[in-house]
Amino acid sequence: MLDKFITNGNYSFTEKGISPIPMLFRRDIEITKKVKKAELFATAIGVYNLYLNEERVGREYFAPGFTSYKSTLLYQTYDLTNQLLQGKNSICASVSGGWAVGSFVFTRQNRVTANRQAFAAELHLTYEDGSKELISTDEKWWVCQNGPLKEADIYDGEVFDASMKQKDFVWQVATKEKVKIQPDLVLDDREPVVEVETLNPISRTKVGDEYIFDFGQNFAGVVKFYIDGKEGQKLNFRHAEVLNADGSLQTDFLRSAKARVAYTCKEGEQEYSPEHTYMGFRYVGVSGLLEEQLGSFVLEAKVLSSASKRNGDFSCDNEDLNRLQQNIVWGGKSNLFEIPTDCPQRDERMGWTGDIAVFAPTACFNFKMEKFLKKWLRDMRSEQIITGGIPNTIPSQGYGFPATMPTMAVDFWGDACLMVPYAMYMAYGDKSVLKENYEMMKSYVGACSRWAAFASFGSNRYIWNTFHMLHFGDWVSPDVPQMEQWQKRSPWTATASLYHSAALLSKIAEILGFEKDEKKYRELSEKVADAYVKKFTDGNGKLLEEFQTAYVLPIHFKMFDEETRQKAAKNLAELVKKNDYCIGTGFPGTPYILFALADNGYADVAYKMLFNKKCPSWLYEVKMGATTIWERWDGLDETGNCPIGDDGTDLMISYNHYASGAVGDFLYKRVLGIEPIQPGYKIFQVKPVLGEELQEAKGYVDTPYGKITVEWHRQSDFTIRVSVPEGCKCKLVLPNGVEEVLSGGEHERKSI
């Protein structure tokens, strides 16, 4: 039982906004018999890395993983059989504050889970002679807090003194720790953060006393450097996503995150890479380097991510669109990081629910997401409050208001409890994710409808306009400049969200065989749709207050009858044309606007919007050299400066936010044309929607039955090649409307 935690009993820290001094635990053991098997179980309150005889054990970062610690703490197992030496061995664990004890969220709260770090381990030894031995964490372990790792903080980075001599380490006897939380200890089932690739700088400049290295790509990760150093030489590494006009690092947008590595050299050759922190960056500024060291100094970057397994890809004959797809993938790599985060660079990196709610279908196309999201949904279930509300960030335990607002039902953000499992179900076909989360969904939709009905009468009970300032509304919509204005649109977004959640829940109830629920939530959704039409439209497909999201949601969610939907789509198309084909949607509308247009007779308008390069648009970012998806459509103006002033968000400007990359869903489902009809693609459709801007597209999607590939091109005629996994059926719809059902195998069809 892995519950014997140890700590440094003499250590306490109370300072706000910082992380604790890292602890180094050590146990020396002597192996005198031949070992048949050596297995080590370990976990920590904080973030730990394990070393055996000074060699790192395992290649995963941030063990034991980020979970809702009060309910679940993961533990890891390590097979040390081959690494243990006959004779003396030393087992070490370096434990920093991580998310549990260190400072986290933009309010920089610390000691949220425990007052200091703790570590627990068990080494199970089985000898060749059949005897067994158990070594657990106890007072035979040592702890040191003046080791080389001086500071480690998720946001602030690391301070490391390599010049420290081992003889100067002060070791004290470790003390037992009574950990105040009582989580379930669960064998590590996360998709761990690992190094997914290495990047090399593409250029180096000098600004002031800093050498600025450009990695040519924005991403989440850490630096790794090699230097032939001088004893006591101090190097400082700063990180940024963009540069100022003078070529210096723009770090204001990191807000309170120091995102630095301060390193003191020992004499001679050495290399270093942080293991307790990460940064979101493209540029690194290095100071403290001597001119003569430049030739041999090597700087690399390790790209870190939990999204290490691809599930699909898309490409076409337009390089800008290909770059957009790559930016979406990089946004995923950077933010599918232990938990689904909003961004990897500033003092957030939190599990904002709304961001993954809208991005989940795209994430499931690009990466294998089941393990990663199932683990996160477990945390969501554990944090739902009794009245059905869901915190806006998961994990959230302990951070609370004002970091994440009071826990209640919040449209689109809380909807993640339905939207994420449903996206997974459609992509991978496993019903268990619906079952596991069904009670949470029901309780959440109950909360939504109660909030909507609060202090309202008649059909207004189905208009969700309660406490709109506690919602995010049309978040980051570029057609209104102030945060307050996005939030003021929440009566529209929340009412559409209530419809969508109720309708989705009704569908899920049907899948799971709950007939009464199917009817109950269908009826609820119908009432909400009627109320939306009555309150916000003229009854004839025209919004009384017109903005893109207000049209997109009811059109795409099918809240209007067929005839009204056609009229509404026409009005949306007009609105988009008037806006010069620029995007006007925030988080809620962005994933669906191109579907709302293309599926209702306005594919040409959808394509013009997709290919638009005027700000705000997806390809404007590409034109401006973006290598990831921006949080704000107007993150940089044409001159390369950030035009965003005081808009109520406190410099909420990130260049690596995946939310509006939700357009990836359209690239797969409409441009390439692959869409599941039955969950897991047992039956799927291939129906490319053509636009004059493209001549060819190709891609693939992995399914539980095998790989689907699609490749189409057109010159004078249209040719498509589809490979259908054995056991699946594909409904192929050619652009001329001809339909055919294909079985497993390779197929090629042509049409005029």
Looking at the Cβ atoms of 368 and 657, the one nearer to ligand BGC is 657
Task: Point out which residues pair with 175 in neighbouring strands.
Answer: 7
By the 8 A CB rule, do 493 and 414 touch? no
Q: Which of 685, 696, 664 is nearest to 310 (CA)?
A: 664
Residue 253 has what DSSP assignment?
G
Least Cβ distance, residue 36 to ligand BGC (angstroms): 51
| Tokens representing residue 91 in the block | 């087992």
**Count of positions on this chain that bind ligand BGC (CB under 6 A):** 10
If one asks whether residue 411 binds ligand BGC (CB under 6 A), the answer comes out as no
By the 8 A CB rule, do 579 and 597 touch? no
Candidates 117-125, 142-150, 347-355, 719-727; binding stretch for ligand BGC (CB under 6 A): 347-355
The correct pick among 62, 141, 330, 352 for binding ligand BGC (CB under 6 A) is 352
Looking at the Cβ atoms of 139 and 650, the one nearer to ligand BGC is 650
Looking at the Cβ atoms of 348 and 518, the one nearer to ligand BGC is 348
By the 8 A CB rule, do 220 and 256 touch? no
The residue type found at 589 is G
Candidates 79-87, 123-131, 351-359, 548-556; binding stretch for ligand BGC (CB under 6 A): 351-359
Looking at the Cβ atoms of 378 and 632, the one nearer to ligand BGC is 632
The correct pick among 60, 348, 415, 665 for binding ligand BGC (CB under 6 A) is 348
If one asks whether residue 652 binds ligand BGC (CB under 6 A), the answer comes out as yes
Q: Which of 220, 239, 424 is nearest to 306 (CA)?
A: 220
Strand (E) or helix (H) holding 388: none
Looking at the Cβ atoms of 346 and 556, the one nearer to ligand BGC is 346
Looking at the Cβ atoms of 625 and 648, the one nearer to ligand BGC is 648
Least Cβ distance, residue 416 to ligand BGC (angstroms): 10
Looking at the Cβ atoms of 75 and 475, the one nearer to ligand BGC is 475
| Residues 137-196 close enough to bind ligand BGC by CB under 6 A | none
If one asks whether residue 300 binds ligand BGC (CB under 6 A), the answer comes out as no
If one asks whether residue 658 binds ligand BGC (CB under 6 A), the answer comes out as no
| Residues 475-504 close enough to bind ligand BGC by CB under 6 A | 475
Pairing of strands 194-199, 249-250: unpaired
| Residues 581-600 close enough to bind ligand BGC by CB under 6 A | none
Candidates 82-90, 253-261, 349-357, 691-699; binding stretch for ligand BGC (CB under 6 A): 349-357
If one asks whether residue 314 binds ligand BGC (CB under 6 A), the answer comes out as no
By the 8 A CB rule, do 145 and 22 touch? yes
SS (H, E, C) 40-88: EEEEEECEEEEEECCEEECCCECECCCCCCCCEEEEEEEECCCCCCCEE
The residue type found at 559 is M
Looking at the Cβ atoms of 355 and 415, the one nearer to ligand BGC is 355
By the 8 A CB rule, do 213 and 201 touch? yes
By the 8 A CB rule, do 704 and 364 touch? no
Least Cβ distance, residue 355 to ligand BGC (angstroms): 5
Q: CA separation (Å) from 76 to 42, 44, 98, 711? A: 5, 10, 16, 43
Least Cβ distance, residue 72 to ligand BGC (angstroms): 23
Pairing of strands 249-250, 149-153: unpaired
The correct pick among 148, 192, 344, 354 for binding ligand BGC (CB under 6 A) is 354
Number of residues written out for the chain: 752
Looking at the Cβ atoms of 348 and 517, the one nearer to ligand BGC is 348
Q: Which of 731, 676, 685 is nearest to 704 (CA)?
A: 676
C-alpha 148/C-alpha 159 separation (Å) is 8
Pairing of strands 72-79, 184-187: parallel
Residue 725 has what DSSP assignment?
-
Least Cβ distance, residue 237 to ligand BGC (angstroms): 25
By the 8 A CB rule, do 543 and 496 touch? no
If one asks whether residue 647 binds ligand BGC (CB under 6 A), the answer comes out as no
Looking at the Cβ atoms of 255 and 729, the one nearer to ligand BGC is 255
Candidates 329-337, 341-349, 377-385, 688-696; binding stretch for ligand BGC (CB under 6 A): 341-349
| Tokens representing residue 465 in the block | 């306009």
Strand (E) or helix (H) holding 516: helix 515-536
DSSP letters for 316-367: ES-HHHHHHHHHHHHHHHHHEESEE-S-SSSS----BHHHHHHHHHHHHHHB
The correct pick among 151, 191, 347, 355 for binding ligand BGC (CB under 6 A) is 355
The correct pick among 23, 38, 149, 343 for binding ligand BGC (CB under 6 A) is 343
Least Cβ distance, residue 724 to ligand BGC (angstroms): 38
Candidates 138-146, 269-277, 312-320, 348-356; binding stretch for ligand BGC (CB under 6 A): 348-356
If one asks whether residue 551 binds ligand BGC (CB under 6 A), the answer comes out as no
The correct pick among 5, 69, 215, 472 for binding ligand BGC (CB under 6 A) is 472
Distance in angstroms between the alpha carbons of the first and the last residue of the chain: 68
Candidates 306-314, 340-348, 542-550, 599-607; binding stretch for ligand BGC (CB under 6 A): 340-348
Looking at the Cβ atoms of 142 and 633, the one nearer to ligand BGC is 633
Sites of contact with ligand BGC (CB under 6 A): 342-343, 348, 352, 354-355, 472, 475, 652, 657
